[in-house]
Amino acid sequence: MLNAAGEPQNIVVLGGSSDIGVAIARRLAAPSTKSIVLACRRPEDAPTDGLRRPGLTVDAVSFDAVRVEHHATFVDSLASSLGDIDVVVLAFGQLGEQSRFDDDPVAAADLVTVNFAGAVSVLLAVARVMRRQGHGRIVVLSSVAGERVRPANMVYGSTKAGLDGFALALGDSLVSSGVSVLVVRPGFVRSAMTQGMDAAPFATTPDAVADATVKALRAGRRIVWVPGVLRYVFMVLRHLPAPLWRRLPLG
């Protein structure tokens, strides 16, 4: 349960090897925080050592976004072992290459399963547990790629568009329950996921995304753009005529 200062006792990162997810957990962890759980497909890859300190338990556990049939049981087991789940950060997802998806529809469907179907499944399970306990904060890592989906990454972008819309509606459904949802819309993030790629304008870092996320959580925000200027950039891009949109050098 959150203490009197609003500090989380128990934090769960779904996608526990994510640079951004771990950075958010690190900044959320207060002196009174008791437990951080990094849940990912390969727990051995979770950077637990960088989070450890006296009085704080850091565990890496197995979680597979594709195994939707196990999500409800998984979240229930976390709630049972932790007591309450104060903050859940949904940070898993795959990027992939559109050129591959053009020739491999099955690979495209696999990405959709991870990024959207898996996220919907586990978020509903988390919301059910938090609604029952009467409090909780859910952080969903979306992307500006979902604001207007580009042909160059249309499979990935469409999954983020779907996730973003679902997360906002989920937050609306939880009003008055004591549970809130924060949607984080970063631009290009220099991280392990984008290593080797050319950075887009207004590129940012996992630490900057984490700082903005924690600030937005404390302010009770519903959406946060990182960096903030992208909110205004996409106010324009979202409404460009299609012929002009297609000609932009956005990759």
Distance CA 229, CA 182 (A): 18
Residues in contact with 220: Cβ distance below 8 Å, sequence separation at least 6, in sequence order: 180
Catalytic residue among 92, 156, 166, 225, which?
156
Give pLDDT tens digits along the chain (251 positions): 455 457 899 999 999 999 999 999 999 999 999 999 999 999 998 999 889 899 999 999 999 999 999 999 999 999 999 999 999 999 999 999 999 999 999 999 999 999 999 999 999 999 999 999 999 999 999 999 999 999 999 999 999 999 999 999 999 999 999 999 999 999 888 877 776 666 677 788 999 999 999 999 999 999 999 999 999 999 999 999 998 888 887 65
End-to-end CA distance of the chain: 44
| Res 194: pLDDT | 72
Shortest CA distance to 173 belongs to which of 134, 117, 127? 127
What are the angstrom distances between the C-alpha of 87 and each of 11, 68, 140, 203? 5, 21, 11, 27
Q: Which pLDDT score is estimated for 39?
A: 97
Residue 26 to residues 63, 181, 201, Cα–Cα distance (Å): 20, 19, 27
- 232 has catalytic annotation: no
> Which pLDDT belongs to residue 103?
95
Contact, 126 vs 72, CB < 8 A?
Answer: no
Per-residue pLDDT at 5: 53
Q: Determine the pLDDT at residue 163.
A: 98
Query: Among 227, 184, 143, 189, which residue's Cα sits nearest to residue 19?
Result: 189
What is the C-alpha to C-alpha distance for residues 4 and 20, in angstroms, rounded to an integer? 27
Cβ atoms of 121 and 164 closer than 8 Å: no
The token pair at 15 is: 């996608």
| DSSP run (H or E) holding 225 | strand 223-226
Copy the structure tokens of residue 43: 């727990």
User: Is domain 10-247 given the CATH code 3.40.50.720 in the classification?
Assistant: yes
The total number of residues shown for the chain amounts to 251
The pTM of this model reads 0.93
> What pLDDT does 4 receive?
42
Cβ atoms of 123 and 140 closer than 8 Å: yes
